[in-house]
Structure 1
Amino acid sequence: MTSQPSPHTWDFIVVGSGPAGSTLASKLASTASTPAILLLEAGPQKDAKSLRVDGQRWTTFQRPDMNWGYKTTAQENCNGREIDYSRGKVLGGGSAINFGIYTVGARDDYDKWAELVGDEMFNWENMQGRFKELECFTGEIRDERYRHFATPKVEDHGRAGKLKVGYPVELDEDVPLVMEAFQEAGLQANLDHNSGDPIGISLGINSAFQGVRVTAGDLLVDKPRNLEIQTEKTVTRVVFEDDRAVGVEVDGEIFLANKEVILCAGSLDTPRILMHSGIGPPAQLSAFNIPLLFPLPAIGQGLRDHPFAPLCLARAPNTNTRNAFYSNTTAMDTAMTQWQQDGTGPWSKHATQLVMGWLKSPGTLGSKEFANLDEETREFLTRPTIPHYEIASHFPIHMLVPGLITDYSYLCLAVFLMNGQSRGEVTLQSADPTVPLLFNPNLLSHPYDRRVCVEGYKELLAVTRHPSFAKDTVSTILGPASESDEDILAFWRDTVGTAWHMTGTVKMGKAGGEEEKDAAVDSSFRVFGVKGLRVADMSVVPVLTNNHTQATAYVVGGTCADVLIAEYGLDRISR
């Protein structure tokens, strides 16, 4: 089944350099036994500092040379719209094009994960340890006037990792105004959303440092000699000898692994590689004449995401200086010169700090849609740290939707659905392994999801009507026609996007019995029934964590590394 092998063989081959793959490869390579690691990335390496401007992190995804350019299928419950499904195609993966929000989720997410797979390795205590190992948390608020908005505890964060995360040096003038208005409107304050309890309103923690975006590629800086990185290498299939994975194929070239192949290509592309390798739902593979090696019906199923809808308001010009900046090309150019010199100035201030909150919805808990959920789901949704929706403010929507805004004093807020019950799938559309799968997240298909969308949006509207907030609102730029349930839901259908938090298409579960029917890998990341092949990315996560999921992807890679280090004794020096 193999063509001529490449001249080299490695111990481990890691496919995909996003947060999971880069964490996994760097951690394995840094062990005492120095195994030979090959990290393959489909995209190029992009090192230009200009791609890392903190205040421009909202536009990097628009570069076609760094983005796969995916879209969903036409969404039945969203007026037939095909919705942007961006994924990074560059060293660093999605972390190089995402919006730079670093949130770890709820401790109950990870405790539930451990329950579902029967392995305490995934509980909050253990996962928090890995988060702390990864990060270098620069958690101080420099301006003493605003330190009461965020006071993270030292014991909840790491200081020695390569991943620098924290708050910007300078805040937009109306960030404190909005924080205070939200609290006066009755929203609970949260002094650190990365403590394991995200409930309440916080200053968002960012994957940025001193005005510069931080990506998974930073974990590969000063890499050890035993880690080889090859970019612009798109893996089309896994190569097998009998029932063991022994390598991968890239444009007819074979790369061999002595020990393991680990797929870290994400929820949209890991299933593609598996299916074209003969692993997946038998009916799909048969329809495209792909020889079936290992039947696994769960592959491609269970796709989940976090949809969101915006609310855009014109605000009093005296509350901020954004209009003077964004409407003045000279000011922006001057600011860029300053940023290039030392990472400071307006490009390190504007659009670098979100106000964020994960909240419970009383209206949802009292609804028939909640009552109709199964008992296990209801129990999870009422756990102390589990929210029903998220709100965020200070999205620079003019960067994403040019022409919508004429006065940049506006404020764009968003409502995100958490713990949605809709399930989608990714499916084959071609026998050609270079053709993407079809991506159908099935957004807003579940009655519970639609109820949360309506109730969460209503609760945000109520906050914006509070006098402390409303006094600075001039008009509504983008919002529902009215506050009726029907108009709010219609607005969601017209405007919904996703946060690109695709999860669950190669789901982790317990091996054997009924639990295996909707799962594809075990708690050691091994693909069921296959030797030498593991998956370690967001596709395996059985809980859609309550966060912006790049942080979860990092810790998935770190956890898989711990498993491999223990199994192969990589922390011992080879003799």
Structure 2
Amino acid sequence: MADTETQFDYIIVGAGSAGCLLANRLSADRGNRVLLLEAGKSDNYPWIHIPVGYLYCIGNPRTDWMYNTEADKGLNGRTLRYPRGKALGGCSSINGMIYMRGQARDYDNWAELSGEADWGWERSLNDFKLHEDHYKLDEGADPETGGNSRFSDLHGHGGEWRVEKQRLRWDVLDSFADAAEQAGIEKTDDFNSGDNAGVGYFDVNQRSGWRWNTSKAFLRPAKGRRNLTVWTEAQVEKLTFHTDADGVLRCTGAQVNHKGQVMTVTARRETVLSAGAINSPQILQLSGIGPASLLQSHGIGVLRDAPVGENLQDHLQIRAVYKVAGTRTLNTVAANLLGKAMIGAEYLLKRSGPMSMSPSQLGAFTRSDPSRSHANLEYHVQPLSLDAFGEPLHAFPAMTVSVCNLNPSSRGHVRIRSANFRDAPMISPNYLATEDDRKVAADSLRQVRQVMSQPAMQPYQPEEFKPGPQFQSDEDLAKLAGDIANTIFHPVGTVKMGRADDESAVLDPHLRLKGVAGLRVVDASIMPEITSGNTNSPTLMIAEKAARWILAGE
């Protein structure tokens, strides 16, 4: 369809993880005319596709919205870079590529909070499997390594979303896994069974050493469909509405700035907002749906007073750094031009080695203390260290043990800064705002020390560099956590779904905006509570479920 076409059956705002899957599913019926809008450019930027290219995509306006948080009290007044993908594929084009569902109890909790049984684990598992293509179920897979009925009950094969094992190992990470086991964390070969407790290497969304983003997975197969139109460099200024004769407020489409040309596009059936946990609340607020006082302060007419932008949740990773000796780390391997050339050659010839790395290779899930009923910590362990993301690697051999609270009780918010759609919103995560979050932070740093003190790590003579062994009290460790912690890029919850009588829920259980016809939100912003793990694959599951409801008119 030509760019001059302005009427469609469905308009999807945002070609990120959820939007790409939705575009595929909704356009599979050739009777549906679908428009997919993406504010960023195509995903033809080479660094998107090389796994280590996240280093060149985050903090790059070609692929990142370049957001920053407000100064955060819990981080001792620090602000953080807050990456969000801005290209076809969205965050799946710049993220850590880790395939992680979370825990079964996450989804059973969503079902209870929403009153919709379809959100429960058993039914959500089917939606995960629908688009999954897991390497352990490839033709000819060895049953001893997972190609058996137990594994096929949990995983899918032949879907669009490729899952593979990582293509490199590090001795120091293998030893950390042994040390974790010595500290009481059992080893696991699958973090995605519904109980992710254990230690092991993460599975990743890659294909043969290349990043596998949702643009490749879901848009590429739909490329020839004449009923699917994709506009890049098309930023939504606001949604459009009218009031039906029966008094119902209805979303009719969107006002779009497409490569400098402003136009209005119309959706005959539904507009689906899939712009993510930061941009979806921003667009709703700019359109007159949000906290009345906020909208009025910016001169925006209030169409619906709703808690849009509240309930922001994120995983805050506390980055402990240890100097090590007698082993390879990326700090030493990439210390000179020769080392970097060898890394490049290995990737060129084999699609393996450090250039095929996800940001974190080894993971662990465990409890911060024995009183916890489930794993509430996630480790991301890396054979490298640096002062901050984007800074040079340290000149000495070292490893980073990042640990995050999976179920933070702190809540933040996202609020527009002005009525101008080009102005970045104010992002206030409000990290470490509760006593429990500060206690978990202190306990997690102590647990890192416990693992690093196990016999398996002693050949490397680990020396705590950050935060430093002189800090021991809960108060000191919580404060130091604020100094060294960073986002792990998992914002969710800002357009919460829930029961009809839940005043904090913006959406009904099928993700329709309460009190507004013709409008759904389908992305990570709908989560009532954050999942116990990385959030990209749960977002795809959400989109899979929503696509079914949309097509059924439910």
What TM-score, normalized to structure 1? Answer: 0.88
* Aligned match of 2:246: none
The amino acid across from 2:18 in the alignment is A
Residue 305 of structure 1 corresponds to which residue in structure 2?
314
The equivalent residue for 1:466 is 454
Amino acid across the alignment from 1:430: S
Closer, same or farther: CA 438–316 of 1 in aligned 2, 3 Å: same
CA contact (8 A) 1:269 1:436 kept: no
Query: Letter of the aligned partner of 1:478 in structure 2?
Result: K
For 1:233 and 1:45, the matched residues in 2 are separated by 11
Q: Which residue of structure 2 aligns with residue 450 of structure 1?
A: 438
Q: CA offset at residue 153 of structure 1? A: 2.0
Alignment check: 8 A CA contact 1:280 1:295 kept: yes
SS of the aligned residue for 1:62 comes to coil
Correspondence 1:263 to 2:255: no
Residues in 2 aligned to 1:465 and 1:12: alpha-carbon distance in whole angstroms = 56
For residues 48-94 of structure 1, give each alpha carbon's deviation from its aligned partner in whole angstroms, at most 9, with x where no partner exists.
44432224434431322111111111101211111121101111111
Residue 564 in structure 1 maps to residue 553 in structure 2: no
- The equivalent of 1:200 in structure 2 is 198
Displacement of 1:543 in angstroms is: 1.7
Q: Structure 2: which amino acid aligns with 1:447?
A: E
- 2:235 aligns to what SS in structure 1? coil
Change (3 A) 1:285 1:351: closer
Query: 1:180 matched to which residue of 2?
Result: 178
Q: Who is 1:540 aligned against?
A: 526
| 1:520 correspondence with 2:536 | no
Q: Following superposition of structure 1 onto structure 2, how do residues 206-225 of structure 1 map, counting pairs within 5 Å? A: 206-218=204-216, 219-223=218-222, 224-225=225-226
Q: Determine the C-alpha separation between the residues in 2 that align with 1:101 and 1:91.
A: 19
Q: SS of the residue aligned with 1:558?
A: helix
1:26 pairs, out of 24, 27, 31, with 24
Q: Which whole-Å CA distance do the structure 2 matches of 1:207 and 1:105 have between them?
A: 16
Partner residue in 2 for 1:502: 491
TM-score by length of 2: 0.91
What does residue 411 of structure 2 align with? 423
Instruction: Please give the alpha-carbon distance, in whole angstroms, between the structure 2 residues aligned to 1:164 and 1:389.
Output: 26
Q: What are the residue-to-residue correspondences of 1:151-166 with 2, within 5 Å? A: 153-166=151-164
Name the aligned partner's letter for residue 316 of structure 1. A
- Given that residues 181 and 469 in structure 1 are in contact (C-alpha distance below 8 angstroms), is that contact kept between their aligned partners in structure 2? yes
Structure 1 residues 84-111: Cα deviation after superposition (integer angstroms, max 9, x where no partner): 2110111111111112211100000001
Alignment of 1:110-189 (within 5 A): 110-139=107-136, 153-189=151-187
| C-alpha distance in structure 2 between counterparts of 1:345 and 1:193, whole Å | 23
Structure 2: stretches of 5+ with no match in the other structure: 244-248
Report the alpha carbon displacement of residue 23 of structure 1 after superposing the two structures with TM. Answer: 1.2
Q: 1:35 to 1:332 in 2, by over 3 A?
A: same
Q: Which residue type is aligned with residue 257 of structure 1? A: A
Contact 2:47–2:56 (CA under 8 A) maintained in structure 1: no
Give the superposition deviation at 1:266.
1.0
The answer to whether the 8 Å contact 1:396/1:412 transfers is yes
1:347 aligned partner, one-letter code: M
The residue type paired with residue 250 of structure 1 is V
Which residue is 1:292 aligned to? 302
Q: Distance in 2 between the 1:519 and 1:358 partners?
A: 30
Cα separation, partners in 2 of 1:204 and 1:329, compared to 1, 3 Å: same
Are the equivalent residues in 1 in contact too, given 2:137–2:157 (CA < 8 A)?
A: no
CA drift of 1:522 comes to: 0.5
User: For residues 332-355 of structure 1, what are the alpha-carbon distances to aligned partners after superposition, in whole Å with 9 as ceiling and x for unaligned?
Assistant: 23442453455245523x557622
Question: Which residue does 1:327 correspond to in 2?
Answer: 335
Runs of at least 5 residues in structure 1 that lack an aligned partner in the other structure: 366-380, 569-575
Q: Percent identity?
A: 29
Q: Which residue in 2 is equivalent to 1:482?
A: 471
CA shift, 1:492, in A, is: 0.6
The alignment partner of 1:422 has SS state of coil
Q: Deviations over 1:155-176 (max 9, x none)?
A: 2111111111121233223332
Partner of 2:34: 37
Mapped pair 1:236 → 2:246: no
CA gap of 1:470–1:149, structure 2 versus 1, over 3 A, is farther
Task: Name the SS of the counterpart of 1:362 in structure 2.
Answer: coil
Q: How does 1:10-21 map to 2 (within 5 A)?
A: 10-21=8-19
CA contact under 8 A between 1:71 and 1:82: conserved in structure 2?
Answer: yes
**Post-superposition offset of 1:509:** 0.9
Give the 3-state SS of the residue equivalent to 1:270 in structure 2. helix
Query: Retained in 2: the 8 A contact 1:136–1:162?
Result: yes
Shift in Å at residue 280 of structure 1?
1.1
Please point out which of 365, 368, 373 is paired with 1:358: 365
CA contact (8 A) 2:97 2:358 kept: no
| Inter-partner Cα distance in structure 1 for 2:137 and 2:27 | 32
Separation of aligned partners in 1, 2:383 and 2:19: 29
Structure 1 position 329, deviation (Å): 1.8
For residues 86 and 525 of structure 1, the distance between their equivalents in structure 2, rounded to whole angstroms, comes to 25
Shift of 1:130: 1.1
Matches of 2:527 and 2:394, distance apart in 1: 38
Q: Residue 285 of structure 2 aligns with which residue?
A: 275
* Superposed CA RMSD: 2.4
CA contact (8 A) 2:329 2:383 kept: no
Question: Separation in 1 of the partners of 2:181 and 2:39?
Answer: 45
Bigger mean CA deviation after superposition, 525-534 or 170-179:
170-179
Could you give the per-residue CA deviations for residues 117-168 of structure 1, whole angstroms, max 9, x where no partner exists? 0111111111111111111111489xx9xx9899982321111111111212
Letter aligned with residue 493 of structure 2: G
Q: Distance in 2 between matches of 1:220 and 1:171?
A: 32
1:57–1:213: 8 Å Cα contact kept in structure 2? Answer: no
Distance 1:321 1:159, change over 3 A: same
Whether 2:257 is the aligned partner of 1:248: answer no
Q: Distance in 1 between matches of 2:33 and 2:44?
A: 25
Contact 1:136 1:161 in 2 (8 A): yes
Pair 1:188–1:474, CA change in 2 (3 A): closer
Alpha-carbon separation, structure 2, partners of 1:549 and 1:281: 26
- Aligned to 1:221, the other structure's residue is in SS state helix
Distance 1:280 1:468 in 2: 53
Paired with 2:359 and 2:136, the residues of 1 have a C-alpha distance of 15
2:452–2:462 CA contact under 8 A, matched in 1: no
Following superposition of structure 1 onto structure 2, how do residues 328-347 of structure 1 map, counting pairs within 5 Å?
Answer: 328-340=336-348, 343-347=351-355
Matched residue type, 1:501: H
- Cα separation, partners in 2 of 1:462 and 1:321, compared to 1, 3 Å: closer
**Once the 2 structures are TM-superposed, how far is the Cα of residue 325 of structure 1 from its aligned partner?**
2.8
Q: 1:73 to 1:472 in 2, by over 3 A?
A: same
CA contact (8 A) 1:304 1:424 kept: yes
Match of 1:368 in 2: none
* Secondary structure at 1:222 match in 2: helix
Q: 1:351 to 1:263 in 2, by over 3 A?
A: closer
Taking the aligned partners of 1:490 and 1:89, their CA distance within structure 2 comes to 33
Cα distance change on mapping 1:506 and 1:52 into 2, 3 Å? same
Equivalents in 2 of 1:466, 1:345: separation in Å? 28
Q: For residues 163-210 of structure 1, what are the alpha-carbon distances to aligned partners after superposition, in whole Å with 9 as ceiling and x for unaligned?
A: 111212332233322222221232122221011111121221112222
Distance 1:98 1:259 in 2: 32
